[in-house]
């Protein structure tokens, strides 16, 4: 996975990151959406409960208004004009005309009947709500004593308490509401219309005595119209399969309004199978049972007749001000699929919007990725050229954001590298010159060592000759003792030999001094070489520090400075090899200086011994000059000369040994100098490699050479 992430481009990475980061809030939103959908599903039934409660309130308000109509209409003074009683026709009877006017104004009544205490009809309207005539004359011969409402009101025939308002109207009269039924009077008068009506009646009082009964027949269609209006609201809200029911106090259906099932929005009265026949509470329909018990609420339940799960809102009609209610209940039922369709549609649309938002992330990520890549490309191009050794290009910086700051930082890195490489170039040039100078000095030291070896060899030969001469002098001295006659000649010859010995000793002393001087010069040259090596070592250390700084700057640059990091590492390795070589040379020089100091000390000792020999030879000359003055003293002097000659021979052997040591030291010095030359050649080769590494770089438009 990590390898794949490293291989893909920035645009793809940015798209994946945007999608990944988008999925986090999207997941939270989806979770919240489903939580909200679940809550909305739970609240769906509450919505239908509200519809049921509002519909119940409208029914209750309508019935209250109708009761108020009854109480108001029945207080009209025209009723108390007994001379107009029992006369049919509105033209002859102002009471009938007043009733017609009430019918037209209210609009929801079939009949308004006034009956005397004996059950005979006093007056009844002869026009309908549209002002058209209706045939009510036949009702005047009918007796109402057997009707439920008459009997109920008559059983309460005690005088009602007098309580009048400012208009003298009695507002504390009882009202009897009849059960919904098909009224026979309505059937007789309105044969082509539904006879379903609700009758409600009240006594008529005069001076505290009942003089009759006022009874009105309310069209049940006025209640049905409220259900139709509620259905239209539900249909417009997206619930065309909604069903509305009205059940009475025993649970029987009074209204079963299901336009979608019946395929008509007209109110259908199915008295054979439904109305006054179906009892949902008895079928175990819990919402109907709850409503029958006087509760309001909502539920998700299977309908016992349709056998389909529905969301149900139910409400019971309460009591109103001055109205005891009808003990009815309203049920609003919507199929589950239709009830949840709106919630599911919101959920589906929201999911589609979220998916669309997620899809939009892809082109946004691609555009942003390409934008970022287009701004990174100049940095990459300059870095690629820098990796090839061309450090003359710079990143164009157009903004001050992070990418602009990165480009400026990369430009600063290139400027630093330019400065460091120029310094490295100068150091490499200085190293090359120092290597050449060291090579020249090494060559000179080699020649001086070669000369020193040659001169030491000559001195050794001269010392050997001097030792041989000293032996001859000893033999001659013993010969002088044997013959006195040859004393003068031997003395003269001895003086000459002594003079020659003095010259030889002086020559040896001079040669030893010259050798000592040259060896001392060689030691001084070795010190110069040591100083040069110190300079080279400082240069190597500075080069190593510069290489280390370059490596650090390259590391800061990341992948863009990787090519230069390789060059800096090679420079560092060359500096380390240079430092190692200078240390080897310094070690060799120290060995040479130690040998040189030892040789100088030996030569100084030889010089002292040669001076001593010269002194003895001069004394011998003095003694030989005195031989002429006395023979006796000649023998003694010859013995002394023999003894001195023997000492000279010993000293000459020591000098010869010292000269051999000097020669050996010179030979060793020559070998060390050759090693110095080899190390110098290696150092020069390292300097050449450093310059070769720098030749492929271009700084500020120029190639390093």
Report DSSP state, residue 325.
-
pLDDT tens digits, one per residue of 490-543: 667 766 765 786 687 677 668 767 776 776 776 677 677 677 778 777 877 888
Highest mean pLDDT among 262-276, 394-408, 514-528: 262-276
The pLDDT assigned to 254 comes to 92
Could you tell me if 291 and 315 are in contact, meaning their C-beta atoms sit under 8 angstroms apart?
yes
SS3 category, 212: strand
Q: Does 1-72+220-394 match 76-169+181-219 in CATH topology?
A: yes
- Whats the size of the chain, residue-wise? 705
What is the C-alpha to C-alpha distance for residues 379 and 372, in angstroms, rounded to an integer?
Answer: 11
Choose among 478, 473, 461, 481: nearest CA to 501: 473
Parallel, antiparallel or unpaired: strands 329-335 and 209-219: unpaired
Beta bridge partners of 302: 309
What is the C-alpha to C-alpha distance for residues 92 and 254, in angstroms, rounded to an integer?
Answer: 40
Lowest average pLDDT, out of 36-50, 376-390, 469-483, 681-695, goes to 469-483
**What confidence category does residue 698 fall into, taking pLDDT thresholds of 50, 70 and 90?**
low
What is the C-alpha to C-alpha distance for residues 473 and 624, in angstroms, rounded to an integer?
Answer: 13
What is the C-alpha to C-alpha distance for residues 701 and 699, in angstroms, rounded to an integer?
Answer: 5
Choose among 645, 288, 343: nearest CA to 494: 645
The pLDDT assigned to 649 comes to 66
Lowest average pLDDT, out of 412-421, 646-655, 693-702, goes to 693-702
Q: What is the DSSP secondary-structure string of 491-534?
A: HHHHHHHHHHHHHHHHHHHHHHHHHHHHHHHHHHHHHHHHHHHH
Lowest average pLDDT, out of 15-24, 58-67, 242-251, goes to 15-24
Distance of CA 697 to the CA centre of its chain: 40
Choose among 179, 184, 185: nearest CA to 199: 179
The pLDDT assigned to 703 comes to 55
And the tokens for 669? Answer: 């010095």
Lowest average pLDDT, out of 81-85, 268-272, 382-386, 697-701, goes to 697-701
**Is residue 343 over pLDDT 70?**
no
Choose among 223, 221, 217, 220: nearest CA to 188: 217
What is the C-alpha to C-alpha distance for residues 106 and 297, in angstroms, rounded to an integer?
Answer: 33
Q: Which residue has the tokens 């769906």?
A: 44
**Is residue 282 over pLDDT 70?**
yes
What is the C-alpha to C-alpha distance for residues 546 and 427, in angstroms, rounded to an integer?
Answer: 10
Within 8 A by CB and 6+ apart from 419, the residues are: none
- pLDDT higher at 697 or 164: 697
Lowest average pLDDT, out of 126-130, 228-232, 293-297, 417-421, goes to 417-421
Q: What is the DSSP secondary-structure string of 584-638?
A: HHHHHHHHHHHHHHHHHHHHHHHHHHHHHHHHHHHHHHHHHHHHTT-HHHHHHHH
SS3 category, 549: helix
**Is residue 413 over pLDDT 70?**
yes
Could you tell me if 183 and 219 are in contact, meaning their C-beta atoms sit under 8 angstroms apart?
no
Which sequence spans correspond to the domains of the chain?
A: 1-72+220-394, 76-169+181-219, 410-693
SS3 category, 216: strand
What is the C-alpha to C-alpha distance for residues 178 and 201, in angstroms, rounded to an integer?
Answer: 8
Report DSSP state, residue 178.
P
CATH C-level class of 1-72+220-394: alpha beta
And the tokens for 217? Answer: 């027949």
Pick the CATH number of 410-693 from 1.10.287.950, 3.40.50.720, 3.20.20.70, 1.10.357.10: 1.10.287.950
Domain spanning 76-169+181-219, CATH architecture: 2-Layer Sandwich (3.30)
Summary mean pLDDT of the chain:
78
What is the C-alpha to C-alpha distance for residues 574 and 582, in angstroms, rounded to an integer?
Answer: 12
Whether the full predicted model's pTM is greater than 0.75, yes or no, is no
The pLDDT assigned to 449 comes to 65
**Is residue 418 over pLDDT 80?**
no
What is the C-alpha to C-alpha distance for residues 201 and 153, in angstroms, rounded to an integer?
Answer: 8
Lowest average pLDDT, out of 139-148, 183-192, 202-211, 625-634, goes to 625-634
The pLDDT assigned to 641 comes to 62
- pLDDT higher at 474 or 255: 255
Beta bridge partners of 200: 177, 216
Q: Give the other-Cβ count within 10 Å of 510's Cβ.
A: 12
What is the C-alpha to C-alpha distance for residues 505 and 621, in angstroms, rounded to an integer?
Answer: 14
The pLDDT assigned to 498 comes to 57
What is the C-alpha to C-alpha distance for residues 546 and 542, in angstroms, rounded to an integer?
Answer: 6
And the tokens for 292? Answer: 């029958």
Distances from the Cα of 619 to the Cα of 181, 495, 629, angstroms: 183, 10, 16
């Amino acid at each position: 996975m990590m390898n794949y992430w490293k291989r893909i481009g920035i645009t793809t990475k940015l798209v994946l990151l945007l999608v990944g980061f988008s999925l986090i809030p999207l997941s939270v939103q989806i979770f919240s959406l489903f939580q909200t959908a679940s809550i909305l599903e739970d609240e769906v039934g509450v919505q239908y409960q509200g519809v049921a409660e509002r519909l119940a309130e409208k029914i209750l308000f309508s019935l209250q208004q109708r009761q108020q109509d009854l109480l108001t209409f029945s207080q009209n003074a025209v009723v108390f004009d007994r001379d107009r009683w029992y006369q049919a026709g509105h033209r002859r009877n102002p009471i009938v005309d007043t009733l017609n006017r009430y019918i037209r104004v209210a609009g929801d009544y079939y009949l308004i009947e006034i009956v005397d205490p004996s059950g005979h009809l006093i007056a009844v309207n002869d026009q309908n709500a549209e002002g058209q005539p209706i045939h009510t004359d036949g009702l005047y011969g009918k007796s109402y004593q057997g009707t439920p409402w008459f009997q109920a009101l008559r059983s309460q025939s005690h005088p009602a308490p007098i309580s009048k308002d400012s208009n003298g109207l009695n507002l504390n009269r009882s009202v009897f509401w009849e059960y919904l039924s098909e009224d026979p009077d309505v059937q007789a008068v309105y044969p082509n219309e539904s006879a379903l009506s609700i009758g409600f009646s009240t006594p008529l009082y005069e001076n505290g005595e009942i003089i009759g009964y006022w009874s009105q027949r309310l069209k049940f269609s006025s209640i049905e119209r409220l259900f139709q209006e509620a259905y239209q609201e539900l249909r417009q809200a997206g619930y065309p399969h909604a069903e509305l029911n009205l059940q009475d106090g025993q649970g029987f259906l009074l209204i079963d309004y299901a336009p979608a099932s019946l395929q008509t929005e007209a109110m259908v009265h199915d008295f054979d199978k439904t109305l006054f026949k179906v009892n949902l509470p008895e079928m175990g329909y819990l919402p109907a049972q709850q409503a029958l018990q006087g509760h309001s609420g909502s539920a998700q339940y299977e309908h016992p007749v349709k056998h389909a799960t529905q969301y149900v809102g139910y409400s019971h009609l309460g009591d109103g001000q001055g109205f005891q209610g009808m003990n009815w209940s309203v049920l609003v039922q919507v199929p589950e699929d239709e009830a949840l369709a709106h919630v599911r549609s919101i959920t589906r649309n929201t999911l589609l919007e979220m998916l669309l938002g997620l899809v939009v992330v892809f082109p946004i990520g691609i555009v942003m990725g390409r934008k970022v890549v287009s701004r990174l490309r100049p940095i990459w191009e300059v870095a690629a050229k820098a990796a090839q050794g061309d450090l003359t290009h710079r990143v164009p910086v157009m903004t001050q954001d992070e990418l602009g700051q990165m480009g400026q930082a990369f430009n600063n890195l290139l400027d630093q590298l330019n400065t460091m490489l120029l310094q490295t170039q100068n150091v490499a040039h200085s190293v090359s010159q120092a290597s050449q100078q060291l090579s020249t000095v090494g060559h000179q030291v080699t020649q001086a060592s070669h000369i020193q070896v040659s001169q030491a060899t000559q001195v050794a030969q001269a010392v050997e000759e001097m030792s041989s001469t000293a032996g001859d002098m000893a033999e001659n001295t013993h010969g002088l003792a044997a013959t006195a006659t040859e004393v003068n000649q031997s003395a003269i010859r001895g003086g000459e030999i002594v003079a020659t010995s003095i010259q030889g000793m002086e020559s040896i002393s001079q040669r030893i001094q010259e050798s000592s001087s040259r060896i001392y010069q060689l030691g001084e040259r070795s010190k110069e070489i040591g100083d040069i090596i110190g300079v080279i070592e400082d240069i190597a250390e500075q080069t190593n520090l510069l290489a280390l700084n370059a490596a650090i700057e390259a590391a800061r640059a990341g992948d863009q400075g990787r090519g230069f990091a390789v060059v800096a590492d090679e420079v560092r390795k060359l500096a380390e090899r240079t430092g190692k070589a200078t240390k080897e040379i310094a070690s060799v020089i120290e060995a040479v200086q130690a040998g040189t100091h030892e040789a100088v000390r030996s030569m100084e000792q030889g010089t002292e011994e040669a001076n001593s020999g010269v002194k003895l030879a001069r004394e011998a000359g003095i003694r030989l000059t005195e031989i002429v003055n006395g023979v006796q003293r000649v023998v003694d002097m010859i013995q002394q000369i023999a003894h001195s000659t023997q000492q000279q021979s010993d000293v000459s052997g020591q000098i010869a040994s010292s000269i051999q040591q000097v020669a050996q030291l010179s030979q060793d010095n020559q070998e060390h100098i050759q090693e110095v030359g080899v190390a110098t050649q290696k150092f020069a080769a390292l300097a050449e490699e450093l310059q070769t590494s720098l030749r492929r770089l271009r700084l500020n438009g120029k190639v390093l050479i």
